[in-house]
Structure 1
Amino acid sequence: MKAIVRLSLRVEKVRRLKSVKMVRLASGIADSLPLSGVRVLDMSRVLAAPYCTQLLGDMGAEIIKIEHPKTGDETRSWGPPFTEKGKESAYFLSCNRNKKSLALDIKSEAGKKVIYDLSKQCDIWVDNFMPGSLDKLNLGYEDISNDNINPDIIYCSITAFGNEGPYVHYGGYDVIVQAIGGLMDITGEADGSPCKTGVALIDVITGLYAHGAILAALRSRDNARAAQVQVRAQQEQNNNNNNKQLRQRNGMKIDINLLDCEIASLVNIASNYLIGKTVSKRYGTAHASIVPYQIFPTKNQNQYLCVAATNDASFATLCEIMDLQDTLLTQHKFQTNQLRVQHREELLRILTQCFQQRTLAEWLDRFSHFNIPHGPIQNVQQILDSEHVQSRDFQLVQSVEHSSAGKVSLLTNPVQYTPKGHTQRLPINQIRLPPPVLGEHSLEVLERVLGYDTRHIQKLIQDGVVVQPNILIFFFFCNNSSNHFRNLCLFKKFKSLCHSKKKKRGAWTPSFVEYIFFPDFEIKYKLKTKKKKSTTSKKEICLSRKIHKKYEPQNTGEIKKQKA
């Protein structure tokens, strides 16, 4: 076991050589971003908190994601859909870009020690555990922010219902909070059942709130540190050596929960009750205070047009487009928005009948000549493939090379930063790191961030405190392009065998396979092969789970195989 661990550590170190250029490029991009130099300890899972840390990572922060050593983030198993190669969950991929994964058992004493050491090196802590769960593990705010660990840390805790009240110990996902918090009651058709939103909207909103709160806390901490520097300089100038008062706890505890974020996001719906004691009801796509403001069916089956006439001038323009000036504008009951709301049913019946007389394409052509908000109902495929999204320089979709899934397409950050005096935007939307395989960066974090030596890391791996993924790497030592080409072809064939659907049940599959080419070496190694019983001269690659301590140098071989 020790030999395997030592070999796997060497393999991990060499594996990084392949991505040196990519890492330098990513580091160079991160250096130009707003949160360059900020490190985040991400103790979260599912969506709300991971979405928050993903936004911080987009802005240049280094995100170290702590995952359960066996199962990882729950969303890794949420599917389908999964990628064809590697079987990575599309859900997990959607909210974990620009992160590094450390598979760690935080319940063990050694695992807690790793968390303490990481906390000393991090600026921000983000978690979404149940209230009190981390306190029981001695990983609560008071434990992490004490003077022996990191009194300056910004500790953000995201829960479902907060730390007070009768719901405090309730577990809650987005759909539960939507039901309890009032959003589901106002979502859906007027004569239908309550509905949840199509996306986990409260999780996303909470992640955005947390992201903004963390940025404000960073700003506050920087201001406090600047003030301390000024005080220290003044004391030195006055020859005052009493610096005991200089050291202050500049950290901050941030508590945020899904229910409060949902209630705050009800905006005008909540205000309707607070001001007018009006309890809103479901209107489908319509608006409680504006008419017309909804979708209308067209002559085409299952094709709709959404129209928003938010003022009297827009309504007059709508009547002109639909040739309804004489029918609607001459009637007093449709002259103002307040009157139109009172006569909602009659007005909508007239508009619906008119919209059904033409196709969607015909209506879009007529509306294109007027300045009134409108748009067709489109699905996800239509909008992502639309000319508007595809034709811009700013790309919301990027393709990245994933460690196990290969090439995957992911959404990027929609924010655009352009510094004063520059024409080029900051690369906020560039994906520097693809979503990680479980434990993909375990060794890197322990070695580079914490400075653990090899013996210490070996001990953590042997005890099951830290887990790294199965790695299978081909080393190609050759000094000419023809050998390199032949080796690359063999590697591609082997990689396809690893992911073949015809593998025997229980066959070992590496988490990811990599090809590393060293053109400057002439050392030759023989690949372990197995001849078939038939007379064919082809060789079959044999997957062996054993780590061979010795490799016999050969003049004709060009490959050395290692597995961790």
Structure 2
Amino acid sequence: MLSRLAEEFPQPTPRRADAPKALDGIRIIDFTHFIAGPFATMLLADMGADVIKVEAPGRGDEYRYYPPAHPTDASVGAPYVWANRNKRSIALDLKSEDGRRIALDLIRTADVVTENFSTGVMERLGLGYETCRDVNPKLIYCSVSAYGREGEFSDRLGFDPIVQAESGFVSMNGYPDREGVRALSPVMDISTAMMASNAILCALMARERTGKGQAVEVCLFDNAVLMTGYATAQHLFTGDNPQRHGNTSPDTCPSGVFQASDKAFYINCGNNKIFHRLAEQVLDMPELAADPVLADRNGRIARRKELFDILHNAFARHPWTYWRERMRAASIPCGEVRTVGETLRSAEARERGLVTRIEHPALGWLPNISLPFRFSETPLCNPTPAPLIGEQSREIMRSVLGYGDEKIERMVASGAAYSCNDSPQRAVSAT
């Protein structure tokens, strides 16, 4: 499949050479792994921050081995590539005195430190907030935790599907006649990453005004509760728990999946005006809009089954292309139900330049999925591939820390630091 990237997807459009970067000059020392932490720092790297990913020698970030792996290097898995663009990697043995010393030297140069280890790990390594603040008083220190760094639950491990379940999110999704279902996409990790990156940016802005660094914490569980949306407020108004509605909406009607003669599509009539346009301009059924009950949202919700039967029968008479054009002309929010592959190759994705290919110096072409925002004056960085384990170890010690060649080689020889450039990158077992 990777061999077809050059045939299917273009290289990214390069940014203007004279354009500034939004976070140029900001350095982040990144001790995070898996998804929420690394995706947060990738957002900032795309904006121009110098993100130095600190990994353990040998295996590195365990997320590297989530499948599918690159056919020639098991440490370059597709999920890892997706979450670690535009970073540099240094591999350090943080359990060794020299490894910790290198890490603290890096922190002295940094604006931000990020970490998402289990509670207490950074302190045991001698890299907790107080220690880092002592060596760099203006430091922003961002911890991404599962259930908070203090309190009764601070020792709990947490992953995306666990907090989906515990937040109530799973209970809201699926069909009413069966158990709730998790979202396959790691929505809690991704949204936690967005919260973390926002929190870091806010702390950097505050430092500009006050001159002071601070500790920042973002909690996976806290974020998951927020991600249940306004269902929390609805429950506190009524005491009722949300019920599962499948692809329909408890708040609007008609909203759901319908079947044209050739494929499925989704429509969402979020207000009465949209429904009236659907009835009159798309379906040529003005009697639906004129019905005193169906004309109102609450009436449509009460007669949902009757209305859906009418719509299913009507939509089945023509193909999706027929309905798509009529609904677009009538400004009806709608879209075909696609697979991920169909989405990546869709006209909309191509128009937005969302999927590109970037060249890797050792592995050929790698896929690239763009972020969903654009800047007119400070465009995002040209994408560079996620680094190999310790790919820039020597470069970072030399250019960032000012170590001489003799000291660098001593650190590598002792095992305090590791560089993948010492020998060809080996494929590592993913098991």
TM score, norm. by length of structure 2: 0.90
1:290 corresponds to: 252
The equivalent position to 2:184 in structure 1, one of 198, 223, 226, is: 198
Residue 185 (str. 1) matches residue 136 (str. 2): no
The equivalent position to 1:313 in structure 2, one of 261, 270, 273, is: 273
- 2 CA distance for matches of 1:163 and 1:324? 59
Describe the shift of the 1:260–1:30 C-alpha distance in structure 2 as closer, same or farther (beyond 3 A). Answer: farther
Equivalences for residues 139-150 of structure 1 within 5 A: 139-146=127-134, 149-150=135-136
1:235 corresponds to: none
The equivalent position to 1:212 in structure 2, one of 163, 176, 198, is: 198
The equivalent position to 1:374 in structure 2, one of 334, 337, 344, is: 334
Residue 254 (str. 1) matches residue 216 (str. 2): yes
1:141-190 superposed Cα distances (whole Å, 9 cap, x missing partner): 111101xx101100000011112444321111111111111111111123
Equivalences for residues 308-347 of structure 1 within 5 A: 308-320=268-280, 321-326=282-287, 328-347=288-307
Residue 362 (str. 1) matches residue 301 (str. 2): no
Does the 8 Å contact 2:145/2:219 carry over to 1? yes
Aligned amino acid, residue 110 of structure 1: D
2:52 corresponds to: 64
Equivalences for residues 126-275 of structure 1 within 5 A: 126-146=114-134, 149-225=135-211, 250-275=212-237
- 2 CA distance for matches of 1:312 and 1:159? 43
Equivalences for residues 490-505 of structure 1 within 5 A: none
1:522-563 superposed Cα distances (whole Å, 9 cap, x missing partner): xxxxxxxxxxxxxxxxxxxxxxxxxxxxxxxxxxxxxxxxxx
1:349 corresponds to: 309
How far residue 296 of structure 1 moved from its aligned partner, in angstroms, is 1.3
Does the 8 Å contact 1:85/1:404 carry over to 2? no
- 2 CA distance for matches of 1:255 and 1:351? 48
2:61 corresponds to: 73
How far residue 263 of structure 1 moved from its aligned partner, in angstroms, is 1.0
- 2 CA distance for matches of 1:469 and 1:317? 61
2:380 corresponds to: 428
Does the 8 Å contact 1:30/1:36 carry over to 2? no
- 1 CA distance for matches of 2:229 and 2:413? 53
How far residue 458 of structure 1 moved from its aligned partner, in angstroms, is 1.9
- 1 CA distance for matches of 2:24 and 2:289? 58
Equivalences for residues 529-548 of structure 1 within 5 A: none
1:83 corresponds to: 70
Does the 8 Å contact 2:138/2:213 carry over to 1? yes
- 1 CA distance for matches of 2:22 and 2:358? 23
Describe the shift of the 1:188–1:354 C-alpha distance in structure 2 as closer, same or farther (beyond 3 A). Answer: same
Does the 8 Å contact 1:413/1:429 carry over to 2? no
1:117 corresponds to: 105
How far residue 29 of structure 1 moved from its aligned partner, in angstroms, is 5.5
2:343 corresponds to: 383
Unaligned runs of 5+ residues in structure 1 are 1-24, 226-249, 420-425, 473-509, 513-564
Q: Which structure is richer in relative contact order (CA contacts within 8 A, separation 6 or more)?
A: 2
Equivalences for residues 43-54 of structure 1 within 5 A: 43-54=31-42
How far residue 344 of structure 1 moved from its aligned partner, in angstroms, is 2.3
- 2 CA distance for matches of 1:37 and 1:224? 19
2:27 corresponds to: 39
Does the 8 Å contact 1:404/1:437 carry over to 2? no
- 2 CA distance for matches of 1:105 and 1:172? 25
Secondary structure of the corresponding residue to residue 267 of structure 1? coil
Does the 8 Å contact 1:403/1:436 carry over to 2? no
Aligned amino acid, residue 290 of structure 1: T
Secondary structure of the corresponding residue to residue 64 of structure 1? strand
Aligned amino acid, residue 157 of structure 2: G
1:462 corresponds to: 413
2:261 corresponds to: 299
- 2 CA distance for matches of 1:30 and 1:101? 27
Aligned amino acid, residue 295 of structure 1: V
Does the 8 Å contact 2:53/2:87 carry over to 1? yes
How far residue 71 of structure 1 moved from its aligned partner, in angstroms, is 1.0
The equivalent position to 2:240 in structure 1, one of 259, 262, 278, is: 278
Aligned amino acid, residue 285 of structure 1: N
1:449-482 superposed Cα distances (whole Å, 9 cap, x missing partner): 111122222221122111111456xxxxxxxxxx
How far residue 439 of structure 1 moved from its aligned partner, in angstroms, is 0.5
- 2 CA distance for matches of 1:277 and 1:125? 42
Secondary structure of the corresponding residue to residue 158 of structure 2? coil
Does the 8 Å contact 2:23/2:48 carry over to 1? yes
Aligned amino acid, residue 511 of structure 1: Q
Does the 8 Å contact 1:86/1:404 carry over to 2? no
How far residue 285 of structure 1 moved from its aligned partner, in angstroms, is 1.8
Secondary structure of the corresponding residue to residue 70 of structure 2? coil
The equivalent position to 1:404 in structure 2, one of 362, 367, 391, is: 362
- 2 CA distance for matches of 1:190 and 1:330? 31
- 2 CA distance for matches of 1:429 and 1:443? 23
Aligned amino acid, residue 456 of structure 1: K
- 2 CA distance for matches of 1:167 and 1:114? 32
Unaligned runs of 5+ residues in structure 2 are 1-13, 427-431
Does the 8 Å contact 1:397/1:409 carry over to 2? yes
1:18 corresponds to: none
- 1 CA distance for matches of 2:17 and 2:180? 46
Pick the structure with greater CA Rg: 1
1:448 corresponds to: 399
TM score, norm. by length of structure 1: 0.70
RMSD: 2.0
Does the 8 Å contact 2:276/2:295 carry over to 1? no
- 2 CA distance for matches of 1:192 and 1:353? 27
Does the 8 Å contact 2:19/2:379 carry over to 1? no
How far residue 32 of structure 1 moved from its aligned partner, in angstroms, is 1.0
Aligned amino acid, residue 119 of structure 1: I
How far residue 342 of structure 1 moved from its aligned partner, in angstroms, is 2.4
Aligned amino acid, residue 152 of structure 1: K
1:415 corresponds to: 373
Aligned amino acid, residue 321 of structure 2: A
